[in-house]
């Protein structure tokens, strides 16, 4: 008999074990909802499934009586646009500055302490400053994402650049490579898969900063909608929105993982 530490689940087993916690949570919710509704049929804290279906139908498949828009899709496009812009800009800055601080000692000596200091500043603490400086438009929301995750990306990529074996750098110098050639042909390819991994790890924080910014100053977006309906205790809307945000985050993470495995199989140890 194999020891527990050596036992692995097959493809079907991995799916089953992965879905099990979600099934347990759903069952627990249904039991708790039935218990509360049996005591108070008008309870709003734990709505039944019929309430969720009605809310999803109203938000996703019926145009708003006020604007004529399908609110769920309008909010989704607005939030994904802000998230994508913030993450792409952060990834670009993180890649350039991370490689520079990791590969160039003089640059690291001047910039790395600043990056370390910025990474310790709570991004939500500067949110009022962003609204004062950039106004209540889209720029402030995107800037919060950038300020929130860029220092983490820079530090992670700097570490990866510093981990490039010195022997490889010496060999390229022996063959006549200059600094730019070493960065472009040696360090850059080794850092790129780490960039995707770092972006995947920062997605949760990016969503947090986005939802916080939308909750305070926005007229559309997933975070805006959640905080708008909270005053009515509309859990039949809030919970599906939270589940939808979770699904979107999972889908983005899954897509990045698959792309990284396809583009950089050597990094994942696959063929």
Q: Based on the domain organization, do 67 and 41 belong to the same domain?
A: no
**Which is nearest to 264 in space by CA: 194, 200, 202?**
194
199, 228: one domain: yes
Co-location of 253 and 136 in the same domain = yes
| Residue 3 lies inside a defined structural domain of this protein | no
Say if residue 42 is in the same domain as residue 65: no
CA distance 18 to 208: 24
Whether residues 33 and 85 share a domain: the answer is no
Averaged pLDDT for residues 8-18: 81
Q: Give residue 67's pLDDT band: very low, low, confident or very high (50, 70, 90).
A: confident
How distant is the alpha carbon of residue 29 from its chain centre? 26
In this prediction, residue 1 carries a pLDDT of: 64
pLDDT at 7: 75
Mean pLDDT over residues 42-54, rounded?
Answer: 87
Helix axes 71-103, 49-60, angle to 10 degrees: 80
Report whether pLDDT(270) > 60: no
What CATH number is associated with residue 75?
1.10.3720.10
Lowest mean pLDDT among 7-16, 29-38, 146-155, 168-177: 7-16
- Asked if the structure places residue 2 within a domain, the reply is no
Rounded distance between C-alpha atoms, residue 110 and residue 105, angstroms:
9
Whole-angstrom CA distances from 227 to 20, 80, 129, 192, 238 are: 30, 17, 21, 37, 8
In this predicted structure, the answer to whether residue 53 has a pLDDT above a threshold of 80 is yes
Average pLDDT over residues 60-74: 88
pLDDT at 205 over 60: yes
Residue with tokens 């991995």: 14
pLDDT at residue 261 tops 70 = yes
Q: Is the pLDDT of residue 253 over 90?
A: yes
Residue 66 covered by a domain: yes
For 26, the domain range is: 9-46
Place of tokens 């609110």: 71
Same domain, 14 and 135: no
| Cβ neighbours of 249 (radius 10 Å) | 15
State the total domains in the chain.
2
137 pLDDT higher than 70? yes
Is 159 a residue whose pLDDT tops 70?
yes
Tell me the percentage of the chain whose pLDDT exceeds 90.
50
Which of 89, 108, 103 shows the shortest CA–CA distance to 147? Answer: 89
Of residues 5 and 204, more confidence is placed in 204
Instruction: Check pLDDT > 90 for residue 66.
Output: no
User: Is 56 inside a domain boundary?
Assistant: no
User: Is pLDDT of 34 > 70?
Assistant: yes
Q: Are residues 21 and 141 in the same domain?
A: no
- Give the residue among 135, 162, 153 at the shortest CA–CA distance from 88: 153
Does residue 53 belong to any structural domain of this protein?
no
* Whole-number pLDDT of residue 19: 86
Domain match, 110 and 233 both: yes
Residue 61 has pLDDT above 50, yes or no: yes
Query: Do residues 145 and 20 share a domain?
Result: no
> What mean pLDDT comes out for the span 35-61?
88
- Is 120 a member of any domain? yes
Mark whether 15 and 93 lie in a shared domain: no
Is residue 4 situated within a structural domain? no
How sure is the predictor about 271, in pLDDT bands with cuts at 50, 70 and 90?
A: very low
212 and 127 belong to one structural domain? yes
- Nearest-CA neighbor of 203 among 254, 158, 262? 254
Asked if residue 210 belongs to a domain, the reply is: yes
What would the pLDDT profile of 82-105 be if each residue is shown by its tens digit?
999 999 999 999 999 999 999 998
Tell me: do 17 and 88 sit in the same domain: no
**Token pair belonging to 172:** 């390229």
Share of the chain above pLDDT 70, in %: 99
Confirm whether pTM is higher than 0.85.
Answer: yes
Average pLDDT score, the chain: 89
Give the pLDDT of residue 130.
87
């Amino acid at each position: 008999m194999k020891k527990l530490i050596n036992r692995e689940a097959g493809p079907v087993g991995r799916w089953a074990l992965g879905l099990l916690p979600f099934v347990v949570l759903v069952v627990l919710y249904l039991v708790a909802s039935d218990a509360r509704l049996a005591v108070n049929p008008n309870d709003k804290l734990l709505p039944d499934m019929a309430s969720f279906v009605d809310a999803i139908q109203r938000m996703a498949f019926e145009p708003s009586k006020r604007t004529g828009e399908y609110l769920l899709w309008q909010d989704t496009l607005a939030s994904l646009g802000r998230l994508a812009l913030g993450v792409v800009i952060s990834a670009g800055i993180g890649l350039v500055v991370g490689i520079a601080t990791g590969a160039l000692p003089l640059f690291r000596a001047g910039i790395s302490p600043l990056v370390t200091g910025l990474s310790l500043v709570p991004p939500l603490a500067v949110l009022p400053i962003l609204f004062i400086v950039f106004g209540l438009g889209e720029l402030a929301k995107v800037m919060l994402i950038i300020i929130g995750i860029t220092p983490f990306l820079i530090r992670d990529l700097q570490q990866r650049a510093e981990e490039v074996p010195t022997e490889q750098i010496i060999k390229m110098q022996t063959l006549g490579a200059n600094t730019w050639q070493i960065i472009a042909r040696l360090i850059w390819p080794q850092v790129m898969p780490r960039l995707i991994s770092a972006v995947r790890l920062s997605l949760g924080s990016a969503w947090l900063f986005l939802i916080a910014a939308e909750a305070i100053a926005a007229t559309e977006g997933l975070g805006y909608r959640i905080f708008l309906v909270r005053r009515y205790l509309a859990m039949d809307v809030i919970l599906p929105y939270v589940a939808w945000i979770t699904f979107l985050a999972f889908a983005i993470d899954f897509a990045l993982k698959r792309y990284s495995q396809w583009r950089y199989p050597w990094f994942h140890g696959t063929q």
